[in-house]
């Protein structure tokens, strides 16, 4: 990573503080294992594979938190150019528009500007990953039956951040010299969600051509 890029990514311009894993916990060890694979320059397809003897729920939980942190950081770097004026709807080109829906204020899918969507999304994910009933942190506490369902929803919505950044703000990413970093993060994410079937194929459609060039 170039020095200029290091400065961009060290500005801590994430939307949210990073979520961290407590040292000594199973998740912390799995996080270290995942990072070691990446740092060793292992093929990303191999790096996402479930390590022998590890629990799939734990492996997915670690990656959901990690992708949340990384994608936060990526969006944080382009957030100055993503405004209510430049992006009045949350979209991925003319064919794809994303509306926000949650269980609280937005009970029906609602069109909102991209920055608002990002803010609602990151708030919502933070609530999920800090909920002990969904993401238990104590060893021995079982994951709920709904865990994979929630993880899929989080990852599908995080994928939309990539869609928006690539289609509407990639010139900004390129100007910062962050292209290689964002591409690597995207490939890692794509290999992970496809390895464990965590995102519907229709969600992946907007970046299908780019993904074919980059990941196959």
185 is in an annotated binding site: no
Question: Can you tell me the distance from the alpha carbon of 43 to that of 8, in angstroms, rounded to the nearest whole number?
Answer: 26
Residues whose CB falls within 8 Å of the CB of residue 33, separated by 6 or more in sequence, listed in order: 51
87 is in an annotated binding site: yes
Report the length, in residues, of the chain: 216
**3-class secondary-structure state, position 141:** coil
181 is in an annotated binding site: no
∠ CA 207-20-6, nearest 5°, is 60
Question: Can you tell me the distance from the alpha carbon of 78 to that of 23, in angstroms, rounded to the nearest whole number?
Answer: 32
Pick from 24, 21, 23, 47: nearest CA to 34: 47
Pick from 167, 155, 168: nearest CA to 209: 167
Residue 100 β-bridge partners: 110
**3-class secondary-structure state, position 100:** strand
* Binding site members: 82, 87, 164, 169
- Annotated binding residues for Zn(2+), written as ranges, equal 82, 87, 164, 169
């Amino acid at each position: 990573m170039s020095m200029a890029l290091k400065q961009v990514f060290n500005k801590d311009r994430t939307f949210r503080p990073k979520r961290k894993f407590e040292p000594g916990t199973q998740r912390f060890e799995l996080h270290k294992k995942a990072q070691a694979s990446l740092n060793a320059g292992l093929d990303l397809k191999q790096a996402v594979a479930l390590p022998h003897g590890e629990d799939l729920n734990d492996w997915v939980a670690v990656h959901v938190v990690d992708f949340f942190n990384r994608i936060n950081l990526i969006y944080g770097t382009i957030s100055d150019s993503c405004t209510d004026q430049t992006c009045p709807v949350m979209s991925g080109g003319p064919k794809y528009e994303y509306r926000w829906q949650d269980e609280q204020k937005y009970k029906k899918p609602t069109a909102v500007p991209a920055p608002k969507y990002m803010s609602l999304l990151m708030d919502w994910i933070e609530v999920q990953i800090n909920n002990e009933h969904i993401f238990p942190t104590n060893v021995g506490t079982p994951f709920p039956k709904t865990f994979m369902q929630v993880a899929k929803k989080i990852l599908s919505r995080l994928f939309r951040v990539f869609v928006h950044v690539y289609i509407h703000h990639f010139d900004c990413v390129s100007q910062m010299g962050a292209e290689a970093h964002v591409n690597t993060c995207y490939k890692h994410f794509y290999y992970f969600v496809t390895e464990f079937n965590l995102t519907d194929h229709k969600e992946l459609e907007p970046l299908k051509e780019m993904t074919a060039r980059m990941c196959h």
